[in-house]
Amino acid sequence: MAIKIFIDQGHNPSGNFNSGAVANGVQESEVNYQVGIDLQNLLNSDPRFEARVSRPTPTTVLGTTNTTSLAERVRLANEWPADYFISIHCNSNPNPAVNGTEVYIYQYMTQANWLAEQILNAVVQTVGTKNNGIRVNQSLYVLRRTNMPSLLIELAYVTNVSDAQKLRDDQALFAQGIYQGILRYFGFA
Ligand SMILES: [Zn+2]
């Protein structure tokens, strides 16, 4: 039986509510969308996995408020039900020097922690971003309300020039890194 992975592409398309960060000509929601689609394609061409995304088309809008948008993503994953939940985001910071990749989880010493570790290491290795480590955040709705091991990856910072360039040009590599991390977590690579 295939391992079911739910990929949540953070935010809604630009022009809608909750459309995410924008800087250096990079729109977070578009990066999240494409990396999610690329990751879905990698997983679905591997018979060991079955993947679904929260935003199957570039114009898909989830919910009507920030709260219902998050609730819809969690509902889709819980009702499937997915075995793992991966939410994809890009970070931003008022200080343009801040850069790198970090992964949020609900709790340390969990399956989500071990998966996060593999994904973070593989992304940093594949894309060349800075490793900002794994952080616990119990206030993130998608981590709190999902019924399966879940993590939220901040790929890189749209507000940092070098990171923004990677987010614009290396979307396939980010997806490849996440995929490699998943393979390593399951001992497939
Ligand atoms: Zn975000």
Whole-number Å distance, alpha carbon 122 to ligand 1 midpoint, is: 21
Residues near ligand 1 ion, CB 5 Å cutoff: 10, 20, 89
For the record, the structure tokens of 10 come out as 């953070």
pLDDT, one tens digit per residue, over 18-33 is 999 999 999 999 999 9
- The owner of tokens 């999610």 is 36
- What pLDDT does 96 receive? 98
Flag whether the pTM goes above 0.85.
Answer: yes
Whole-number Å distance, alpha carbon 124 to ligand 1 midpoint, is: 19
- What pLDDT does 27 receive? 97
Q: Pick from 126, 118, 128: which is nearest to 86 by CA? A: 118
Q: Are 136 and 170 spatial neighbours (Cβ–Cβ below 8 Å)?
A: no
Helix axes 171-185, 111-127, angle to 10 degrees: 140
For the record, the structure tokens of 156 come out as 């890189």
Instruction: Please give the average pLDDT of every successive group of 10 residues along the chain, which has 189 residues.
Output: 97 94 96 98 98 98 97 98 98 98 98 98 98 98 98 98 98 98 97
